[in-house]
């Protein structure tokens, strides 16, 4: 067993303990937060992942594949999380100052699902919280593990400043990804439509 696999096993045990403790802590939340539709988490692999198809890279190898953006918008990411059963919709009216904060903190502590409050008192739009509060959702958003991203950033920093033309040429594989990470400036967007 590789060291990385042992660390993931430790993370799974910690997550199970947090979930068990979180279930005891939020006995009164069941009236506000409904369970997500679909089958439970039993039988799934770590973080709800399915087995990788044959020939597909896993782990650190994902960082070496072509650069891609996993999700172009927040709506796409929320829809993908919902397809995986990792979204809880709260339809009852809640106060954004007290109730939303309390529910979000409890769910974040337990590495719980993304919460979508559809009826927030005084707001004309829904509120998504805990979007990146769980490690599994960060990995889904990045398309690879945090360790792979960290290794990639470390490689870039070790290569800067380039000491030779060979070092500079070696950085070309990261140039597209770095340039794609710049924010796009828009005059208006979907968030301003409401």
- The pLDDT tens digits for 179-189 are 666 677 778 87
Q: For residue 137, is it within any domain?
A: yes
Mean pLDDT across 71-88: 92
pLDDT in tens, 118-176: 999 999 899 999 999 998 998 888 888 888 888 888 877 776 777 778 777 777 777 77
C-alpha triplet 133, 128, 150: angle, nearest 5°: 30
87-90 vs 127-129, strand pairing mode: unpaired
Q: Looking at the structure, tell me whether residues 96 and 125 fall in a common domain.
A: yes
Q: For residue 57, is it within any domain?
A: no
Q: Looking at the structure, tell me whether residues 137 and 155 fall in a common domain.
A: no
What total of structural domains would you count in the chain? 2
Q: For residue 15, is it within any domain?
A: yes
What are residue 173's phi and psi, to 5 degrees? -70, -20
Whole-number pLDDT of residue 136: 92
- Best-predicted range by mean pLDDT (43-47, 57-61, 100-104, 142-146): 100-104
- 3-class SS at 179? helix
Q: Looking at the structure, tell me whether residues 95 and 31 fall in a common domain.
A: yes
Whole-number pLDDT of residue 105: 93
Q: Looking at the structure, tell me whether residues 104 and 160 fall in a common domain.
A: no
More confident: 120 or 24? 120
Q: Looking at the structure, tell me whether residues 76 and 163 fall in a common domain.
A: no
Burial of 189 (0-12, 13-18, 19+ CB in 10 A): exposed
Q: Looking at the structure, tell me whether residues 111 and 153 fall in a common domain.
A: no
pLDDT in tens, 38-53: 544 443 433 444 444 4
127-129 vs 114-117, strand pairing mode: antiparallel
Q: For residue 168, is it within any domain?
A: yes
Range of the domain at 84: 8-36+70-143
Q: Looking at the structure, tell me whether residues 96 and 115 fall in a common domain.
A: yes
Average pLDDT score, the chain = 72
Angle formed by the axes of helices 146-159 and 172-180, to 10°? 120
Q: Looking at the structure, tell me whether residues 135 and 152 fall in a common domain.
A: no
pLDDT at 69 over 80: no
Q: For residue 54, is it within any domain?
A: no
Q: For residue 132, is it within any domain?
A: yes
CA 2 – CA 9 distance, rounded (Å): 11
Q: For residue 101, is it within any domain?
A: yes
Mind giving me the DSSP string for 96-162? Answer: TTTHHHHHHHHHHHTT--EEEES-BTT-SS-EEE-TT-SHHHHHHHHTS-HHHHHHHHHHHHHHPSP
Q: What is the pTM of this model?
A: 0.52
């Amino acid at each position: 067993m590789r060291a990385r696999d042992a660390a993931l096993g430790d993370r799974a045990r910690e997550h199970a303990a947090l979930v068990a403790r979180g279930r005891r802590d939020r006995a009164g939340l069941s009236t506000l937060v409904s369970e997500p539709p679909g089958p439970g988490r039993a039988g799934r692999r770590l973080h709800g992942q399915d087995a990788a198809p044959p020939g597909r890279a896993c782990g650190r190898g994902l960082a070496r594949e072509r650069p891609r953006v996993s999700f172009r918008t927040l709506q796409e990411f929320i829809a993908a999380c919902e397809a995986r059963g990792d979204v809880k919709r709260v339809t009852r009216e809640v106060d954004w100052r007290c109730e939303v904060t309390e529910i979000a903190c409890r769910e974040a502590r337990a590495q719980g699902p993304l919460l979508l409050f559809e009826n927030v008192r005084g707001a004309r739009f829904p509120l998504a919280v805990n979007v990146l509060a769980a490690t599994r959702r960060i990995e889904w958003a990045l398309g690879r593990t945090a360790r792979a991203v960290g290794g990639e950033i470390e490689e870039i920093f070790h290569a800067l400043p380039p000491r030779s033309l060979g070092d500079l040429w070696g950085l070309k594989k990261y140039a597209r990804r770095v340039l794609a990470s710049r924010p796009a400036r828009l005059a208006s967007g979907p968030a301003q439509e409401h």
